[in-house]
Structures are given as C-alpha cells and as structure tokens.
Amino acid sequence: MNLSFKFVILPTDALLWLVFLIIMGFVLFARGKMQLAAHWYQVFHRRPLTIIAAALLGVFLSISLLDSIHYRVMLPQNNNSDPNFYDAHISSVFDKIVSPLGTQTEKTYSSPLSSDPDLKNHYHILGTDKIGQDVFYVSLKSIRTGIVIGILTTLVMLPFALFLGLIAGYFQGLADDIIQYIYTTLSSIPGVLLIAASVLSMHIFIEKNPLAFPNIAERADLRLLSLCVILGITSWTTLCRLLRAEALKLREMDYVQAALSVGVRKTRIIFRHILPNVMHIIMIVIVLDFSSLVLAEAVLSYVGVGVAAETFSWGNMINSARLELAREPVVWWPLTAAFLLMFILVLSANIFADAVRDAFDPRLRKRR
Amino acid sequence: MDENNLLEIKSLSVGFLTHSGFLEAVHDIHFTIPQGKTVAVIGESGCGKSLTAHAILQLLSATCRIVRGSHIYWKEQDLLTLPELGMRKIRGGELGIIFQEPMTSLNPVYTIGEQLKEAIQQHKPCSRKQSHIEAIALLNAVGFPEPALQLIRYPHELSGGMKQRVMIAMALAGEPDLLIADEPTTALDMTTQAQVLTLLQSIQRAFKMSILLITHDFGIAQQLADHVIVMYAGQIVESSSIDHFFEKPLHPYTQQLLNAVPGIEKRHHRLAVIPGVVLPLTEKITHCRFAARCPHADKICWEKEPQWNLLDQNQRVKCHLYDKHYPVKKKVIEVSFNSASLITKSAADAKSLLTISNLKIHFPVRQGLLKRKRSFVKAVDGVNLTLYEGRTLAIVGESGCGKTTLAKGILRLLPISGGGIHLNDQDLAQLSLRRFRHYRQQLQIIFQDPYSAFNPRLRVSDIILEGVRTLQKKRNLFQEESLLQSLLEQVGLPQDSADRYPHEFSGGQRQRIGIARALAVSPRILLCDEPTSALDVSIQAQILNLLVDLQKERNLTYLFISHNISVVSYLAHEIAVMYLGRIVEYGDAKTLLESPKHPYTQLLLSAVPTIKKPKEIVIPVKINHTDLPSAANPPQGCHFHPRCPFVMERCKQEYPGMVALNPSQKVACHLYEN
C-alpha cells in the first residue's frame, strides 16, 4: 500500500508518548483497585476548581500529544522522480486539525482582531508576529515545548534525586558523604554556565555531523532533548537534599524501627515506609520545578542557549518581545499570549497537584 | 464578691468554631481563687482545663469564642470587658503563667539573663544595673546555684528542670498575685518534678501568692493544692477542699479515676476502667454528661442535668446521687479480684528465658576534620539482667539513663559494642544481622509515642500483618484474615478497624494497635517502652489491664521500661533501677519498693507524689541541686556520687560492685559492702 505520507518519530515525540502511555496504564490499573479509585474520586469530588484545572491540563496535554505525531506529506510525483519523494517540511496532526491557522500568514505585525484592509481577509484573534504568523497558533504550538521541557526534565531529574536522596538519608555513612560531595560540587557550579557550555558543545556536535540530522526539525528536536537532559542533570540537587533530610528524620520514626524489629528488609522499608511518606515533598517540588523549568526555558532562550530559534516556544516569544515592547506603537500581544498560556498551565498544574496531594494523604482526607 | 477572692469566674463558657458547629469545650463553670491559696484543676485531656486557663489570660486562639454572659472577675474588674492594652498590663504582671513545655518557652538566641531582665523591665521600668541585681535575686529565689554566673547562659545549656526554674523566675518578675501553672512538671523527670513542686510550694509561701494549678496527676494536686476542682467534658463536676477530697471523693467519675491510678496495693485487682468515651460536645446536652459511663446512672440522670449539691461548706458535687429531690440509689460496684491478678508464681519456679550479660552499647563521638572517634557515650555500660518466662521485669530510671537504648540494643536495632544476649542457649549478640532475623519474631516492642509508631499511609490491617507477611514465604490470605480478626478481638478493637488508618484512632486505641502488631508474630518476649506514658489515667488503666490479661493468656514475658513508679509497682515482678547506663539496684518488686537500698532508688521513690502520702512530703535524702550528668562524661567512681547524700571518699574513687543483700535483692553501693 502506498501511503500519501510518512510518519516521522522524533526522540521527544517517542518519550512524550511513552510517558503518556505509562500514565494511561496506571489509570487502567487504578480503576481495578478499589482503594486507589477511591483516592482519585476524592481528588475530584466536590472540587469544581480541581475539575477545571484538570480539564485545562487535559487540553494542554492533548494538544502537545497531537503535536507530537509528526509526518511528512508525499509530494505530487513528477514523471521520472523517486516514488518516495516527501516534503522536507515536517507537520503534525495538530497542524492538520487547526489547518488553516498555520498557513494564514500576513506580511508582518497586525494587532488582535484587526480588520485592516491590508490583511488577507483573515481574522487573527491574537494578532500576528513579526513574520506575519498567527500569534494564537504560535502560542498553541509552544505548549508542546513547554510540556516537553517540564515532563522530560522531571523524568531525567527524578531518578537521581529519589535514588540518591533516599540512599544518602537512609543508609548514612560513606554513601551519604559521597552523595553530599557530589551535589555540593554540582550546585556550586553556576547553572547557566554549565547549561551554556553543554548546549554549545551539542551545537558543535550537530554541525560536525550534518548527515546524521538531515532535517531542520530533527536538529531542533535534538537541541530540545539535550536541553531537557542538561536541565535535569543540573536540577536534581534541591529535591535530593530535601529527600535526604526527610529520610534522615523518617528512619528514626518508631514505625521504621517496628518494621526492622519484625525483620523487614531495608529495600522494602525504603519503598513501603519511607517513599510514601516523602511523596508530598516530591509532588510539591515537581510542580514548583515544572513552573520554574518553563520559565528557565525562557531565560535560556534569551541568553541564546535555549531551544533552537525555529522551535515554537514561549521563551522565544518572550525573547523577541524585548524589541517589540520598544516599538511605537507597542506590540504587546505576543508577550501577553505567551504569558497567558504559561500562567494557565502553571496555575492549573499547581491546583491539580494540591488536590492530588490532599486526597492521597490519609491524615488530611477526613478534615475536608 | 468575697473580699478574699482574687479571681472569680462566673458562668464561663468557651468554645471553638469548627466545621461541625460550635464546640462548647467549657460549659458554664464557676469557681473562685482565694488570696494565698492553691486551687488545682484536675481532669483528663480534652476536659477543658487548659482552655479555662487560657480564657483567664485572654490567650485564646482565633477560632475560640467566649460565650456571652461569661464573667472573669480579677480583683472586682471583669477581664472580659478589658481591652487588650489593659490586659497586657495584667498578664505576665499580676497574673503570672508557667507553661508545660520549658524547652520551647524560652527564646534560644538570647541568654536567660537578657530574657529575665526584659521581663523585669516590662513591669517595672528601672536601670540596667537595677534589673541585673533583681535578676540575680530572682534566680536565687528559684534555687539556682551561683545565679550571677548563670545569667550569661543560653537556654540550650540548661536542663529541663533549670529552664522551668527560669520560667518561674520570669513569672515572678512581675510580682504576680496569681500564678497560673499549666501542667508545670509534665515534661520533666520525676526527680526534677519533685524539685519544681517543692520550689512552687516554697515560693508560694514566700511571695504569698495564689496558684491555679492545672494537672492530670492526683499526686501533684495532693501535694500542692488547698482546693481541688474536677472537670469532666467541659464542666466542673466536683469541687472540694483537699482533705475532704481524698478522704471521700463524691462524684462517680472522681471515684473511678482514683481507682484507675495503679499502685502496689492494687496489684491483685483489676484496675477500674471507665467504659465508653466522652460524649461529643457539639450538641446541646440536657442530661448528666457522665451518665453514659456511670455505673450508678438512673432514669433521672438521662432526663435532667444535675445541679450543684452542697454537702459541706467545702464540698460540692454535680451528681443526682447526692440530690435530695431525686435520690438515685447507689449501686454497689464489685471489684473483680483475681480476674486480672498478676501471676504469683515465685521467681524460683520460673524458667529464665533471656539472659543479658555485661551488655554494652557505646556510641562513638566523632570530632575533627577526619571524623575520628575521639570518645564514646556509654549509653549502656555493662548491664546484667535475666528475664523469667511469664514474668515482668521493669526497668526504671530518669530519662537519659539508657533504658530505651537497652531495649533497642536487645532488638539489635542499635549496634552492640559488647556482651551477650542469651535466648535459651543461643547468643543473639554474636549472630550476624542476617541470621538474627530468624529470632526477631520472638522479641517484639511496643513504643511510647502512639502517634509516631505507625506509618500514616498504611491501613491498620497492613500495619498489623506486616511482620507475618515478612516471615511467611507464601501469602495465605485466609489465614491472615483470621489472624487479624483474632488479634483485633484480643486487644479490644472493633472489627471494622482493619480498613481504617491509624490517625482515625485515639491514643489508647493506637496503643492497642501497637500491641496487636507486636503480638501478630507470636513473640515470647515483649519489650514495652513506656507504653502508657502518653495516655490519660483511665486509658492507661485499660492498657495495663490488657497487658496483664495477655501475659496470662499467652505466657508472655515483659521487659517493661518506665519512669512511672506507680505503673511499675502495679505490673512488675522484678524491678531493676538504672542510672547512667548501669543497673544500680535489682530486686523483687515488693521488696525493692518497700525497702529501697540504693540512695538513688530512695531518691526516685521519694520523688513520686503519691496520693497516700501525708501532705508535707518528707524527702529522706536531701537532693543536691545537680541534675543527671551526661552519659558522655560520667563522674569518676560511682556515677551517683555528686548527687548522693551519703557520699564517702571511696565513692569518688571506684565504682561499687553488685552486692547481694538477700536472695531477692542486689545493690551496687559502697554503703552495703561487707
């Protein structure tokens, strides 16, 4: 069968979908378990704000997932050409769904809902940017970048922080000393410097091996992924330190001593008695980090070591706003759009995480 | 208003705003505090006694409301109508206060001198020099040795008892007419408690002030108070002068509470248990609040709230039993003898089960850059003990003497530095931790604090069965379920507890969960680490009864750690007295309590305020004002010599050996050698 398009699987697409499938698997698993299902019922029960937050998060997540199915369209065949002749431009399912939005471009800036006769009869609810692209479309496309950075960085950072933090706190002694030295050293290096150095060496690697990354989108995606990894490696120290302190405290609790006295093994104690009791800390730190990562992306793009300039991202939008705000009349809409979406994403993540934490803490459940 | 009355409380009601409505925690109470007298308010936790004190001081939390129509007259002025500015002049001045927890009542970043001088200048503007002199005088008054040198000390450098003395000195700085003492000795050791109580007694006489003493301990009330008020569920149920009170307690609640206090004379009785729980205070109550738990309750008790019955000028009670209009017949309550009596087999018949020989647990103190082991804290330093099958060995001593460390060492939760623990013929101390796992099920522990003893994220069934699941190779759900049900029944928890979380239970119920968890693996030896010290008297009685029952049913051996002499005297067959990591006296419970030989044992026993003792407690040994020395640096020779009234030159040189005085008593003291 001859398809008229070809799927392209970028590394971040694969990872994002993998995370999504794991979450879905967990949801199906939880449905079977009465107790877990009851907890999730608690999350939403009589909490309209949480439901709204979850719905918004759901919308954001679906957009980013749809935006992560990439394909290349087969070009109309010339007479003697290769049958497998695909467009160099990679588009996503999301582009297809909102299809006229991405292609309706103007010459340059236009204000929101402008009906200026120079425009090509398109309404742009959030106006257009410098190269005439619809700002609404750009900010929607940026969702994927934000979510990818938030989720993948957490995914990289979490195992380090969890594993090292709990080991240092629970076993103490030499392991604790070594882990402490590592994170003290790591956090004494200025973060931006480390990230800039890593990103620049990544650039050089890409430039030197142009054949491995024939496509612009592939290169941009690799830059995004490497950014996530680097951010993850540099940002696990805070959570690790918190978890170490908490594990130090919990290991002396009577219930841990009681478990030891019936001969429960240490690994089981960590997973059964320590880990569930540090979950609230993990949850809080992840959500706070998620917000700061989205912001960090903006800062790094501003410095020039963030995502590629051609990637849609709130960071790039904010970066260009630097010049736009100096114009007369002020071009305020790209910045506002980026700000608004970031605000909605971070706020709903916070509200949702708060509800989840409350519902899963047996001590808080009865009080509401 | 009587001229002599400093404080008069008239129909005071205080409550909290909660989600389920207004909770009236103090309901319509009346009492007066006469000039120069001590009034004790006694009650179990949650009865509203502390709230009353806070209402007098106007230190209520934001959700608290005082009901309209309440009056608190302080020297004929209603404090409730006073603005905060006026209140501030009275509070801490004419009205002094000491809190329960001396550890958190002092600011750690200022020296005690600075804090004391601040308190002095707050009430009496004076020069720095003047306040300095006054601070020294105050510290002197509260029995500080060398007060001038102590002024520059920080709170962390002082022991709990010393901090409480500073708190008392700060309260005295305002020259109070009334001192409100909210459980002033609950957080302290028994020897320190005795010192603080004698101090309160002497400063009351010296400063001619009144004291409002809030306590849960009848012994303390007996020692200090002139008048006793008993509170139950937010109401005063009995008010009586001290002599009448202990001679003839009137209210059924008071009677039962006094019966629930353990002691040596109750060894062969079951302790009185008050059935049921305190009724919820969110609803309007029109009957007697104690009716549901009262053995005498009659129809009238459920219909009408009892009014005050004046028996004597000094004795009032809120109970229909004493009402002339509706006489309720008093029922005879049977004291069930022998139903829970201790096993009375003599020690000679009992088989020794666990022998601890020369056990040492030393913690290294690491110092310097390379963290070298510079010195050791000898928390347990050569302890010899034997546990006999089916009997209870109690270890008593002040906090910090190594009792808990010893228990954790026996369980191998802490590394052992030397010595042996023989269970039958197996030396547990020599086993590797891996091989020791096979013996773990024989030794189990019950913890002191019922709040930190359970993982809050696990259900009760998972908590109790954790040990069984670890020991079993394969899970047998049916067997687990039946074991769980039988354990819950044995410890007296409702069957539906299994699926609930620990925070849904009260302190006493949690302690039952702890016992069930320990019993789940059918141990032979149970180490009880102060299992009742966090509980109210009536709950404590329930737990003690349960422990006695279980010992009989399962032939359990207990190692019972406690600082509460009355609990120990009720439960123990043998007693070992521990001081700074060593056993100083060991003996049969009865012999040891009746004729204590070691000066430290004598000190401990005399420090306990018991109800039966005459009012003026006689301390046979003069306590030196030194506290327990640190185990990191114990005194040379006999560890007790700096505090000992009979100290000899020899005591400062060498540690005394254990001397057997008679077959059932051994003591380590130079007084008894030869």
- β partners of residue B527: B445, B559
Tokens standing for residue B217: 């301990």
- β partners of residue B31: B9
Task: Tell me, letter by letter, the H, E, C secondary structure of B60-125.
Answer: CCCCEEECCCCEEEECCEEHHHCCHHHHHHHECCCEEEECCCHHHHCCCCCCHHHHHHHHHHHHCC
From residue B601, alpha-carbon distances to B395, B558, B588 in Å are 12, 21, 14
| Interval B614-636 mean pLDDT | 60
Nearest CA in chain A to B20: A367
Distance CA A270, CA A170 (A): 8
Residue pLDDT, tens place only, B154-183: 888 887 888 888 988 898 888 899 999 988
Residue pLDDT, tens place only, B304-341: 888 888 887 778 888 888 877 766 667 665 555 444 45
**Alpha carbon of A261: minimum distance to chain B alpha carbons (Å):** 6
Q: Using pLDDT thresholds of 50, 70 and 90, give the confidence band for residue B612.
A: low
| Interval B410-438 mean pLDDT | 88
| Interval A175-191 mean pLDDT | 89
Instruction: Choose the weakest-confidence range: A324-338, B268-282, B329-343.
Output: B329-343
| Interval A293-313 mean pLDDT | 80
- Residue A263 has its nearest CB partner, among B447, B470, B504, at B470
Residue pLDDT, tens place only, A51-94: 999 999 999 999 999 988 888 877 776 655 555 667 777 788 88
To the nearest 5 percent, what fractions of chain B are helix, strand and coil?
A: 35, 25, 40
Q: Find the chain A residues whose C-beta atoms sit closer than 8 A to any C-beta of B.
A: 253-255, 257-265, 268, 272-273, 276-277, 361-363, 366-367
**A-chain residues near B516 (CB < 8 A):** none
**A-chain residues near B449 (CB < 8 A):** 254
The pTM assigned to this predicted structure is: 0.83
Q: Using pLDDT thresholds of 50, 70 and 90, give the confidence band for residue B672.
A: confident
Tell if the CB–CB gap between A261 and B504 is shorter than 8 Å: no
* Residue B77: per-residue pLDDT: 87
Tell if the CB–CB gap between A263 and B408 is shorter than 8 Å: no
Tell if the CB–CB gap between B447 and A254 is shorter than 8 Å: yes
Residue pLDDT, tens place only, A249-279: 999 888 999 898 888 888 999 998 999 888 8
Per-residue pLDDT for A242 more than 60?
Answer: yes
What b/e readout covers A176-190, taking b as 16+ CB neighbours within 10 angstroms? beebeeebeebbeee
Nearest to B258 by CA among B278, B283, B276, B238: B238
Q: For chain A, first and last CA: distance in Å?
A: 59
Q: What is the DSSP string of A234-248?
A: HHSHHHHHHHHHHHH
Contact B557, B387 (CB under 8 A): yes
Per-residue pLDDT for B623 more than 70?
Answer: no
Contact B422, B442 (CB under 8 A): no
Highest mean pLDDT: which range of B135-149, B226-240, B324-338, B495-509: B226-240
Distance CA B98, CA B309 (A): 33
Instruction: Choose the weakest-confidence range: A131-135, B61-65, B215-219.
Output: A131-135
Q: Name A276's Cβ contacts closer than 8 Å, sequence gap at least 6.
A: B455, B457
Nearest CA in chain A to B468: A262
Contact A96, A70 (CB under 8 A): no
Nearest CA in chain B to A174: B371
Residue B231 φ then ψ, to 5°? -110, 140
Q: For chain B, first and last CA: distance in Å?
A: 67
CB atoms within 10 A of CB B141: 18
Specify the DSSP element, H or E, that contains B455.
Answer: none
Tell if the CB–CB gap between B440 and A257 is shorter than 8 Å: no
Per-residue pLDDT for B495 more than 60?
Answer: yes
* Residue A11: per-residue pLDDT: 85
* Residue A270: per-residue pLDDT: 92
* Residue A305: per-residue pLDDT: 80
In eight-state DSSP terms, residue B616 is: S
The single residue listed with the structure tokens 């951010």 is: A231
From residue B552, alpha-carbon distances to A249, B341, B386, B387 in Å are 38, 9, 20, 16
B558 touches chain A (CB under 8 A): no
Per-residue pLDDT for A117 more than 70?
Answer: no
Residue pLDDT, tens place only, A25-61: 888 887 777 667 777 777 787 788 889 999 999 999 9
Residue pLDDT, tens place only, B369-405: 666 777 788 889 889 999 998 899 999 988 878 888 9
Distance CA B420, CA B412 (A): 12
Tell if the CB–CB gap between B449 and A259 is shorter than 8 Å: no
A-B Cβ pairs (cutoff 8 Å, strict) = 67
Tell if the CB–CB gap between B437 and A277 is shorter than 8 Å: no
Mutate to test the interface with B, among A172, A174, A254 (most CBs of B within 10 A): A254
B431 touches chain A (CB under 8 A): no
Distance CA A261, CA B470 (A): 11
B470 touches chain A (CB under 8 A): yes
- Residue A262 has its nearest CB partner, among B454, B470, B501, at B470
Average pLDDT over chain B, rounded to an integer: 85
Q: Using pLDDT thresholds of 50, 70 and 90, give the confidence band for residue B346.
A: low
Distance CA B290, CA B297 (A): 8
| Interval B99-128 mean pLDDT | 85
Residue pLDDT, tens place only, A136-182: 888 888 899 888 988 899 889 999 999 999 999 999 888 999 999 99
Q: What angle do CA A301, A305, A311 make, to 5 degrees?
A: 55
* Residue B618: per-residue pLDDT: 47
B444 touches chain A (CB under 8 A): yes
Specify the DSSP element, H or E, that contains B380.
Answer: strand B372-388
Tell if the CB–CB gap between B501 and A264 is shorter than 8 Å: no
Distance CA B428, CA B433 (A): 9
Distance CA B512, CA B493 (A): 7
Q: Using pLDDT thresholds of 50, 70 and 90, give the confidence band for residue B281.
A: confident
- Residue A264 has its nearest CB partner, among B413, B447, B470, at B470
Nearest to B135 by CA among B102, B165, B160: B165
Tell if the CB–CB gap between A273 and B517 is shorter than 8 Å: no
Tell if the CB–CB gap between A254 and B455 is shorter than 8 Å: no
